[in-house]
Amino acid sequence: DAMVIQNPRYQVTQFGKPVTLSCSQTLNHNVMYWYQQKSSQAPKLLFHYYDKDFNNEADTPDNFQSRRPNTSFCFLDIRSPGLGDAAMYLCATSRDQAGSYNEQFFGPGTRLTVL
Amino acid sequence: AQKVTQAQTEISVVEKEDVTLDCVYETRDTTYYLFWYKQPPSGELVFLIRRNSFDEQNEISGRYSWNFQKSTSSFNFTITASQVVDSAVYFCALSGDFPNFGNEKLTFGTGTRLTIIP
């Protein structure tokens, strides 16, 4: 089945130690999104890629970076995780197709713990 | 700016009762989309419904129904004969018009945690 895959599902890192979360998709969608969801809060968009074009939300901290080496994969890099970065990170994809609404499909998320 | 308000933080009902989750939105767009997502304890956001601003017909899907009223900027979600498997956090969300890319970004409400008591 076509889907959005996130690995790992659970990630533990140490304060200040760089960490990378990965997302892959078999939907062949050209748009990929990263959301941060803290406990009991709504998902918050960090950035998205439209093909190779990177779009950063204005309030996304510089500590967060992203890479999209090809259509299928997208990575979220946290350069120096702080305790406040502990959250669920959700990846989503959508297909940009003129004339129709482009629904977002979400992966299962990676829950990041910072010690 | 877009905003979604889910005033009910937590709701608990006994199994088989009906329950309505409220959603109120704000937008300046004339064309927009409204969504409901379910987030079970596993964490994945599960898409339930999309409604565009030109379609105010209520929709029913099994035990789920949605009431969209532009006059009150509300998009409420009702579960009839609730079941324990309905326990989850439910998010209402809003996005702008297409095909202007960027307007499809989702603005989520803060969610309503629904607990169905056996």
The string of pLDDT tens digits covering residues A9-50 is 999 999 999 999 999 999 999 889 999 999 888 999 998 888
pLDDT tens for each residue of B62-104: 999 999 999 999 999 999 999 999 999 999 999 876 555 555 6
Q: For B44-71, what is the mean pLDDT?
A: 90
Q: Within 13 Å and on the Cβ side, how many CA atoms surround B55? A: 10
| Cα A102 from Cα A89, distance rounded (Å) | 21
pLDDT at position B58 over 90: no
CA dist., res. B36 & res. B48, Å (int): 5
Amino acid at B80: T
pLDDT at residue B36 tops 90: yes
- Return the pLDDT at A40: 83
Question: Which of A99, A102, A109 comes nearest B104 by C-beta?
Answer: A102
Cα nearest neighbour of B35 on chain A: A103
The answer to whether B44 contacts A106, with C-beta atoms less than 8 Å apart, is yes
Contact flag B50-A103 (C-beta cutoff 8 Å): yes
From chain B, the residues in CB contact with A102 under 8 A are 98, 104
B9-27 pLDDT per residue, tens: 999 999 999 999 999 999 9
Partner B contacted by A40 (CB < 8 A): yes
Residue of A nearest to B88 (CA): A40
Residues shown for chain B: 118
Name the interface residues of B facing A (CB cutoff 8 Å).
Answer: 33, 37, 42-47, 50, 52, 91, 98-99, 101-102, 104-106, 108-111, 113
CA pair distance B96, A10, nearest whole angstrom: 33
The answer to whether residues B82 and B15 touch, using CB atoms and an 8 Å cutoff, is yes
pLDDT (average), residues A92-112 = 81
Report the C-alpha gap between B34 and B57 in whole angstroms: 13
DSSP per-residue letters across A7-61: E-SEEEE-TT--EEEEEEESS--SEEEEEEE-TTS--EEEEEEETTEEEE-TT--
Give the nearest chain A residue to B9 (CA atoms): A40
Which residues does chain B have within 8 Å of residue A96's beta carbon, measured at their own beta carbons? 99, 101
Tokens for A8? 């790992």
Report CB contact under 8 Å: B91, A42. yes
Can you give the three-state secondary structure of B33-87, one letter per residue?
Answer: EEEEEEECCCCCCEEEEEEECCCCCCEEECCEEEEEEHHHCEEEEEECCCCHHHC
Q: What is the pLDDT of residue B98?
A: 56
Residues of B in contact with A109 (CB under 8 A): 43-44
C-beta neighbour count of A9 within 10 angstroms: 12
First to last CA, chain B: 41
Look at residue A79 and tell me whether its pLDDT is greater than 90: yes
Q: Which of the pair, B66 or B105, is modelled with greater confidence?
A: B66
